[in-house]
């Protein structure tokens, strides 16, 4: 249960000569929901993409199930990723494919399934996510909430054991946010599925995270169980948390301003 | 009093910045137009070109390696992408290619007839059509049309996919973008270009015939006979070989430039322009090289 599924060792990356992530090391236990949080621009999404093998770091290693993913061959890395899911901040659905075909894509590509079997599995997911009405729509015609739900559906159709999320409940309306949370809770409770999530939403983190990784200015400031982090009396840690709360309030204020026309 | 002082200080600082900027700009202007500056900028340009060529070679190697590597499954979905590419590059281009080929065939005959009758050379019309159209203009013009229609589309499509993280999404699902996006386009475009080349030749000869009929009152069978007598197997082989190589080059350069887009949508039109320039340059170089090797 507590076996390490993902291990990040001393990872650093620079952009334009400036160090963006500095010597990050952390171990992610299997079957847990680990959230990576921190103020805007601290490198959360970059760390998530490095952990998923999408961006190679300048230095350091990442092991998934004991395999050093940046020293594995290109082909074996693609094979490994069959068992991962990744839900992007903007959903990143393939723009020229309908919702149905987006969800069917990994099944058609990786598994030699009959057409009927693919349809059966995709329709099961579509119904589970209340997406049947929009199955023939292209991503451009969907709201962000619908796109994110479709993105999660696409990630889940291959029954992954490790899922990466980049801000899954941010930037969407309340109804879709609740739908998204309703789909995330059973995943969190499944001991075979590990969730690694970048999130700015402290309410969500406080309610659902098992572990919290707190990034600040490209460094891993704190990493541990939720209660250890949230109840910590470290003044710097509390200050960083307050920055995240302030940013959240600012975003909410800006959205409200846009909605009411008082920018 | 203090506000006035602050105002003066502020303006003093601005003037100081302005003066420094002017001095900096002047120094850099003098340096850029000095011999040292010229060599430095030339060296930078040269190194960036060498780096581009190395990157392009690495990209080509990756495609070959992926192409010959085994991959279970995924063929049906790749075949679907390939058919779409053939439809767009080949089938949808048929009307345009027909119009251009008819015009080029006709124009070649009109131009030939301005000087051939002076020394009784009307019978060489077939040879001229074969030499000009089949050997050179057919593959080149078909290549240019495909660059304009499909090469730009490939760069734009891949560039936009990169900006909207769709390439990353494919990778995260374990789908190799080279296998899913690039290889079907290379096969589709190459097959289309070879076919369009033959199609171009047929319509260009038809255009030549129509003009010959108007001017020389030639009937189709003798005209065709003269054309067929002028054709040698090597002309057809070279034409098809050029179409094949041009197809590979256009799809490679266009897709390479598409993947060169990193984060901003403003890079997409820039890379599309670079892709067109690269493809045209590659076509001329390859054309010159093939012609030189084959005919000398």
Q: Contacts of residue B72 in chain A, CB cutoff 8 Å?
A: 112
The residue assigned the tokens 């990157």 is B55
Report which of residues B244 and A231 the model is more confident about.
B244
Q: Which three-class secondary structure state does DSSP give residue B18?
A: helix
Is the pLDDT at A263 greater than 60? The verdict is no
Q: Answer whether A94 sits within 8 Å of B180, measured CB to CB.
A: no
Average pLDDT over residues B211-240: 81
Q: What is the mean pLDDT of residues A216-225?
A: 89
**pLDDT tops 60 at residue A217:** yes
- A121-176 residue pLDDT tens: 999 999 999 999 999 999 999 999 999 999 999 999 999 999 999 998 888 888 88
Q: Is the pLDDT of residue B9 over 80?
A: no
Query: Which residue among B165, B166, B173 sits closest to A106, beta carbon to beta carbon?
Result: B173
**Mean of pLDDT over chain B:** 86
Q: Give the model's pLDDT for residue A248.
A: 66
Q: In the predicted model, is pLDDT for residue B166 greater than 90?
A: yes
B58-98 tens-digit pLDDT: 999 999 998 887 765 566 777 888 888 898 888 999 999 99
Q: What is the pLDDT of residue B253?
A: 96
CB B282 within 8 A of CB B233: no
Structure tokens, B191: 């097959």
Identify the CA nearest to B125 among candidates B208, B36, B16.
Answer: B208
* Per-residue model confidence as pLDDT tens digits over B16-30: 556 667 777 777 777
Q: Give me the sheet containing A4-15, strands edge to edge.
A: A18-29, A4-15, A59-64, A67-68
The DSSP line for B37-96 is HHHHHHHHHHHHHHHHHHHHHHHHHHHHHHHHS--SS-HHHHHHHHHHHHHHHTGGGHHH
Shortest CA gap B71–chain A (Å): 9
Cα–Cα distance, A143 to B37 (Å, whole number)? 53
pTM, whole model, 2 decimals? 0.83
Higher pLDDT, B267 or B221: B267
Cβ–Cβ below 8 Å for B166 and A95? yes
Q: Chain B residues within 8 A (CB-CB) of chain A? A: 66, 69, 71-74, 76-77, 160-161, 164-166, 168-176, 180
| B164 chain-A contacts, CB cut-off 8 A | 90, 92, 95
Residue from A91, A82, A15, A106 nearest B165 by CA: A91
């Amino acid at each position: 249960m507590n076996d390490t599924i993902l291990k990040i060792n001393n990872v650093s990356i620079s952009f334009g000569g400036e160090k963006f992530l500095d010597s990050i090391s952390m171990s992610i236990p299997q079957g847990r929901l680990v959230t990576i949080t921190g103020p805007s621009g601290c490198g959360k999404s970059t760390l998530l993409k490095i952990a998923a093998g999408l961006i190679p770091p300048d230095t350091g290693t990442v092991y998934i199930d004991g395999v050093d993913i940046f020293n594995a061959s290109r082909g074996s890395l693609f094979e490994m990723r069959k068992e991962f899911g990744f839900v992007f901040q903007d959903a990143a659905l393939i723009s020229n494919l309908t919702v149905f075909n987006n969800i069917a894509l990994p099944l058609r590509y990786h598994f030699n399934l009959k057409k009927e079997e693919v349809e059966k599995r995709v329709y099961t997911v579509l119904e589970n996510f209340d997406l049947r009405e929009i199955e023939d729509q292209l991503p451009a015609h969907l709201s962000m909430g619908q796109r994110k739900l479709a993105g999660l559906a696409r990630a889940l159709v291959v029954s992954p054991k490790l899922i990466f999320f980049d801000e899954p409940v941010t930037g969407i309306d309340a109804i879709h946010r609740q739908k998204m949370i309703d789909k995330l809770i059973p995943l969190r409770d499944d001991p075979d599925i590990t969730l690694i999530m970048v999130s700015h939403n402290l309410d969500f983190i406080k309610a659902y995270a098992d572990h919290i990784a707190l990034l600040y200015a490209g460094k891993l400031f704190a990493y541990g169980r939720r209660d250890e982090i949230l109840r910590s009396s470290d003044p710097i840690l509390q200050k960083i948390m307050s920055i995240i709360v302030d940013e959240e309030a600012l975003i909410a204020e800006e959205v409200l301003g846009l909605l009411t026309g008082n920018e | 009093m203090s506000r006035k002082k602050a105002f003066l200080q502020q303006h003093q600082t601005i003037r100081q910045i302005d003066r420094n900027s002017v001095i900096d700009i002047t120094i850099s202007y003098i340096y850029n137009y000095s011999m040292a500056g010229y060599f430095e900028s030339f060296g930078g340009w040269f190194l960036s070109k060498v780096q581009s060529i190395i990157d392009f070679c690495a990209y080509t190697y990756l495609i070959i390696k992926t192409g010959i590597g085994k991959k279970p499954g995924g063929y049906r979905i790749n075949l679907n992408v390939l058919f779409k590419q053939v439809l767009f590059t080949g089938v949808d281009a048929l009307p345009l290619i027909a119009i251009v080929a008819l015009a080029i065939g006709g124009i070649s005959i009109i131009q030939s007839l301005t000087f051939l009758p002076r020394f009784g050379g009307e019978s060489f019309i077939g040879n001229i059509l074969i030499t000009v159209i089949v050997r050179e203009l057919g593959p080149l013009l078909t290549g240019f049309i495909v660059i304009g229609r499909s090469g730009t589309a490939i760069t734009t499509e891949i560039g936009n996919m990169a900006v909207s993280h769709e390439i990353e999404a494919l990778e995260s699902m374990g789908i190799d973008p080279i296998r899913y996006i690039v290889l079907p386009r290379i096969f589709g475009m190459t097959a289309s270009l070879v076919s369009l080349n033959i199609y171009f030749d047929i319509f260009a000869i038809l255009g030549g015939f129509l003009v010959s009929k108007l001017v020389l009152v030639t009937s189709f069978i003798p005209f065709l006979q003269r054309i067929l007598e002028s054709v040698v197997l090597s002309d057809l082989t070279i034409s098809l070989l050029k179409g094949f190589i041009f197809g590979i080059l256009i799809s490679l350069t266009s897709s390479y430039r598409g993947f060169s887009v990193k984060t901003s949508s403003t890079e997409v039109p820039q890379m599309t322009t670079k892709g067109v320039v690269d493809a045209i340059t590659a076509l001329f170089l390859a054309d010159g090289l093939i012609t030189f090797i084959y005919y000398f």
